[in-house]
Amino acid sequence: MAGLEGVEQPAQRVSATAARWMPSADDELALKALELFGNPTEEEVRLPSRPESAATARRITQSVVLRQWALSPTLAEHAVLLVSELVGNAVRHTGARVFGLRMLRRRGWIRIEVRDPSRGLPCLMPVHELDVSGRGLFLVDKLSDRWGVDLLPRGKTTWFEMRVADR
């Protein structure tokens, strides 16, 4: 605008629909992760048991829940948080070299599983206001509709399920 050089201009508004379809850097990283590791809705994805794999699992989860399954951003946010907690437990407490991520959808539900080779069971601990760790399973318990652990001949699968509104 003439005479207003150097004056901050109001940001242009972008409709929610337009913003939803603009690929972000996270979308690019999620697509790369899906290409590199595979799609956990088709078969189990094996990820290295390193702290940085939690970010990969979060990106994959967000991409599947938002883009592939077209579910709500709130549900995606909760699923991403819970995946992060399960992956964090698998990386921190199992001594595994790899863990598996699987995502399933059936009418009215989604189920997300993290498999590791340890048969040590996770423990839901009481959480206190000032605790700085140990809240992972507490969050899984509060934000999911169901969760559990299936023991396998070699390891376990920790999973959670969330109800979804089918269209």
- Distance CA(22)–CA(30), nearest Å, equals 14
In a domain, 56, yes or no: yes
Which residue range is the domain that position 61 belongs to?
24-120+132-163
Looking up tokens 């990283």 gives: 29
Which segments in the chain show pLDDT lower than 50?
1-22
In a domain, 73, yes or no: yes
Q: What pLDDT is attached to residue 132? A: 61
Q: What pLDDT is attached to residue 62? A: 94
- Which residues is 149 bridged to in the sheet? 158
Token readout for 107 is 């009418």
Q: What pLDDT is attached to residue 15? A: 38
Q: What pLDDT is attached to residue 31? A: 82
In a domain, 157, yes or no: yes
Query: Which conformational region is residue 91 in: left (phi greater than 0), alpha (psi within -120 to 50 degrees), or beta?
Result: alpha
In a domain, 66, yes or no: yes
In a domain, 85, yes or no: yes
In a domain, 146, yes or no: yes
Nearest to 161 by CA among 54, 74, 84, 83: 83
> Domain tally for the chain?
1
pTM above 0.75, yes or no: yes
In a domain, 14, yes or no: no
In a domain, 54, yes or no: yes
Q: What is the CATH number of the domain that holds 97?
A: 3.30.565.10
Residue ranges of alpha helices (H) inside 9-120 are 16-21, 25-37, 53-62, 73-93
Three-point CA angle 20, 22, 24, nearest 5°: 100
Q: What pLDDT is attached to residue 33? A: 85
Token readout for 160 is 């959670």
Element (H, E) at 138: helix 136-143
